[in-house]
A and B are shown apart, each in its own frame.
Chain A
């Protein structure tokens, strides 16, 4: 909490701030049927330590591509990306390994990060407790509900002990009630762990509910269209009037971006 405040203050003065992620003039194009197709065009975006940023956009805006680039799963065609260590990544699908129990999934992340064996079990129990799944250590992935799976996936991502957590529409496949609870849960964990989060979504309310800063991407190619700072105090609710009000404004802008594509 304290560092998050310091981070915002530092951003104000604009001098020598550490960055959890620094995306500078990044472009990405893929070989398509009609030659090279530009997916991301000159994206510049910083995520301050402890900051929660959501990337919002319609389909085809390249938000997942950008996340893959930051995660190091792909190389940008131009520009540079700097992160503080290897970021953790959470997907829309839980991506838990079905041959391991919930606890072992988390332990694998700890092991790959080089944590000694003796400490792994304790740390795993701590992480399970953090996502409120105490006692789920020996549960098989298929025995867990969708919401529980995403919480184990979150615990596994946290096990990597990264400073930056990348989330690629992690709650999109969940039912509304579960999603709502996981929003509260994510906000709580983010505030407890002082993590930086870059969260991709196409759900405007979700973006406003969670973020300190919402970045809207235009589509084909993805460019940063506009940014909003959200200063509604946390914990918020998705039903809060302020959340709704800002969501309306952002949705209008988003629709404007989409409409442009129908005009030519």
Chain B
């Protein structure tokens, strides 16, 4: 077709010249329209509820039912397995006394502050390990090895070095969380597609500018995964520290509450403490890290809606 028609006048009365600029623009606009799909809107509240909120509620209800059945069946002594209502009474009492939020806040404020410190140390450390060959060879293996060391192991030395105080708690959190955060960043940097680095280099993004404009944003998904894990490690380390090292000046956090429950032989209090530790861990993840991760992935088109 084209071989016979080159150079002839197009229909529609356009000038007999070759492709007019308007012609090409129209063609291109048509192609663009054909090849892009409209953005999908947000899911409705009802749909979100049915798909995301309802299933976990069912799971929790099931656990409660099984628990209550076990209590009724008297499978063990009641001081070993308190009824859900006994734990609920414990929650109510702590709430009425105003101590419930105090327990939570003592631990959460420590955990978050410790996490922020771990963030401030782990990030530059991770960058150094990722970008400087010598540093990577020197401390890279130690850093990933530290991740598998249970952070409880740091409690005894921390108590000996720093005494029974808040600094000791923070030290334990840092030793637990810094390796996770640094390692997350290292693997994030390692997974940056070389093409981005080359593209950046041709644009003049080398050295520190390359790190700032290309490497860090490209490594963000891996870094966030590291932060998430870093938070989990912070929280675990803190609980270990609080359980082992209790002292009146330290205030009662969730770890101490658990330990107090044990010494008072109060299973409802132990259950309450475990429940709160779990809820806080889940809540921080749901409120901070999951939305952050979803936002990053969605803006890069990496999150596929099912």
The 9 A-B pairs at the shortest CB distance, nearest first, are namely A142-B301, A145-B35, A239-B2, A95-B199, A98-B300, A89-B202, A99-B217, A112-B204, A112-B203
Residues from 1 to 40 in B contacting A, C-beta threshold 8 Å: 2-3, 6, 18-19, 21, 24-25, 27-29, 31-32, 35-36, 39
**Alpha-carbon distance A142/B297, docked complex (angstroms):** 11
Interface residues contributed by chain B, number (CB under 8 Å) = 36
Q: How large is the interface on A (under 10, 10 to 19, 20 to 34, 35 or more residues)?
A: 35 or more
Q: Which residues of A contact B302 (CB under 8 A)?
A: 98
Decide if A240 touches B6 in the complex (CB within 8 Å).
yes
**B264 to chain A: closest CB distance in Å?**
52
Knowing A99-B218, A108-B213, say if A181 contacts B31 (CB, 8 Å): yes
Decide if B217 touches A147 in the complex (CB within 8 Å).
no
Knowing A112-B209, A235-B18, say if A86 contacts B204 (CB, 8 Å): yes
13 contacts between A and B (CB under 8 A): A71-B202, A88-B202, A97-B196, A97-B199, A112-B209, A112-B213, A148-B32, A177-B31, A178-B31, A184-B19, A188-B24, A239-B6, A240-B6
B244 contacts the other chain (Cβ, under 8 Å)? no
Q: Which residues of B contact A97 (CB under 8 A)?
A: 196, 199, 214, 217-218
Decide if B6 touches A91 in the complex (CB within 8 Å).
no
Q: A86-B202, A184-B19, A239-B2 are in contact. List 11 more A-B contacts (CB 8 A).
A: A72-B202, A89-B199, A95-B195, A95-B196, A95-B199, A97-B217, A109-B203, A112-B203, A142-B300, A143-B36, A237-B18
Residues of chain B whose beta carbon lies under 8 Å from any beta carbon of chain A? 2-3, 6, 18-19, 21, 24-25, 27-29, 31-32, 35-36, 39, 195-196, 198-199, 201-205, 209, 213-214, 217-218, 220, 296, 299-302
Please count the residue pairs between chain A and chain B whose beta carbons lie under 8 angstroms apart in the complex: 103
Decide if A141 touches B301 in the complex (CB within 8 Å).
yes
A241 contacts the other chain (Cβ, under 8 Å)? yes
Knowing A97-B214, A97-B217, A112-B209, say if A181 contacts B28 (CB, 8 Å): yes
